[in-house]
Amino acid sequence: MNIILRTIFAASAFAWAGNSQADIAQAPNHVPVENLKWFATGIGPMQAAVAYGDMATGPYGVFLKFPGGFISPVHQHTGEYRAVVIGGTIVNSEVGEKDITMRPGSSWYQQGNVSHVTKCVSSDGCTVFLTQTGKFDFNPVEK
């Protein structure tokens, strides 16, 4: 199976995982990529475009874009999340753990309240699809 199909299947599985039947049983919603509404997240230059749900309350699915060379501060999120790499090469490592490089089609699970760093190691930027059952938050950890 080619990388695009693997990425779509993985993103779809994450989008459905953790959602209640009531959340899933919505009217069809088709959003062509050119109609995504990108906005600043307030986390450096990172941008987001919501695919479904509400980031303020959860559950939701969101596309995130990172510029090439982006390195987040050490941070945590209250809730767990799952992510799939759509474009570029990402590293998401818990503090003290070895970096694992992930190219398109790769995925990861991040526990809530665990300190980690997210890096876009591609020079031309990175895009991920992230799902979370709770609300989005970004809590920098003091060193």
In order of start, what are the domains of the chain with their CATH numbers?
Answer: 3-136 (2.60.120.10)
- Please give the model's pTM, rounded to 2 decimal places: 0.81
Q: Write the CB contacts of 103 (distance below 8 Å, at least 6 apart in sequence).
A: 85, 89
CA 13 to chain centre: 14
pLDDT at 23 over 90: no
Nearest Cα residue to 90 out of 105, 79, 78 = 105
Instruction: List C-alpha distances in Å: 5 to 16, 100, 133, 138, 141.
Output: 17, 22, 24, 30, 36
Please return the burial class of 61, using the count of CB atoms within 10 Å of its CB with bins 0-12, 13-18 and 19+.
Answer: buried
pLDDT at 6 over 90: no
CA 85 to chain centre: 8
Q: Write the CB contacts of 28 (distance below 8 Å, at least 6 apart in sequence).
A: none
22-26, 57-61, 64-68, 90-94, range with the lowest pLDDT = 22-26
Pairwise CA distance, residues 53 & 1, whole Å: 29
pLDDT at 125 over 70: yes
| Predicted pLDDT at 47 | 98
Pairwise CA distance, residues 110 & 127, whole Å: 17
User: What does the pLDDT look like over 29-79, one tens digit per residue?
Assistant: 788 889 999 999 999 999 999 999 999 999 999 999 999 999 999 999 999
